[in-house]
Chains A and B, each alone.
Chain A
Amino acid sequence: MPSSPDPLFAGLGQAVRIGTNLLATLMVGGGLGWSIDSYVLPTEPWGLVGGLILGVIAGIRNAYRTAQRWDHS
């Protein structure tokens, strides 16, 4: 972000995002995997496992991408 009014404010704003993003991707990934297991395919428990793993990957990728944006500030 180029010129935010207050660097501390903007910096805090960006830092606080990462934690919840990790949690949210994990929840969504696990939830999707679980619902595939229970309603779509008889793949218990591998849908949940795969979904959680994908969720972790997505969360870390998002954190990485968020952190990458900092350098341009």
Chain B
Amino acid sequence: MEDPLHPFELHTIVPLSLFGLDVSINKAVIMMFVVVGLVTLLLTKARSSGSLIPTKLQSVAELLVEFIRGMIHETMGPEGMRFFPLIATLFLFILFCNLLGLMPGAYTVTSQLVVTGAFALGVYTLSLLVGFKVHGVKFLGILVPSGTPAWLLPLMIPIEIISQLARPVSLSVRLFANMTAGHVILGVLFGLTISGGLLIGWLPFSFTVALYGLEVGIAFIQAYIFTILTCVYMGDAFHLH
């Protein structure tokens, strides 16, 4: 049976080097280009008609914008709309990476911890910068939960530091682990289907059909969770306590 982790291996297709850095093109990079191109194409096309009676694509795009706007308003309030482009880009990119990765032969970019880790670290650093810019040094008060008695402070501050540092970790690991696990399970079940033959192979095959549906749902949910948590962290930076 084929190694279920085999689809996650990356091989250089076009070797490139920039100032001594390895920037070779591999399957993941190509997938990222495809995702960016597809999202840009779809949204430009949805926008181009711009009629009062929306076309199908236009109404989907409008729903999407409303969805993201709702997310930002709930967590950050109206002043968070400054970050709308960032949040929308993150959501669309992760969603399309997750969904396109489910196509046979495609590569799931979000199943690489490097990618999700870079997103999570970037978003978290940005939220820290926003916090320090809005509140100055007082932003360190995020480490002291409101209503803490003074004698508990030596215990609470390390705990708060840990839970702050855990934010980027959980953000990146969640997306990466969900994507990887789903694809490994699909791979294992498909392997069982092939080695099972006609007699018993239909059983794992029917599981793959069901699981595939679940994976499509997970692709949406994980993209949603990543973006809503980004909004929540940004919101924490805006509003202390």
Contact = CB atoms under 8 A, between A and B. Distances in A.
Interface in B157-196: 158-160, 162-163, 165-167, 169-170, 173-174, 177
Contact of A32 (B160, B162, B224): B162
A49 interface: no
Interface residues of A, number: 27
A17 to B, nearest CB: 7
Given A3-B70, A3-B74, A13-B221, A23 B163 contact: no
B225 interface: yes
Given A20-B174, A23-B173, A54-B159, A9 B221 contact: yes
Contact of A13 (B67, B70, B167, B228): B228
Given A54-B158, A62-B163, A5 B225 contact: no
A5 B166 contact: no
A25 B228 contact: no
Interface of A: 1-5, 9, 12-13, 16-17, 20-21, 23-25, 27-29, 32, 51, 54-55, 57-59, 61-62
A27 B163 contact: no
B225 A28 contact: no
B211 interface: no
A32 B161 CA distance: 10
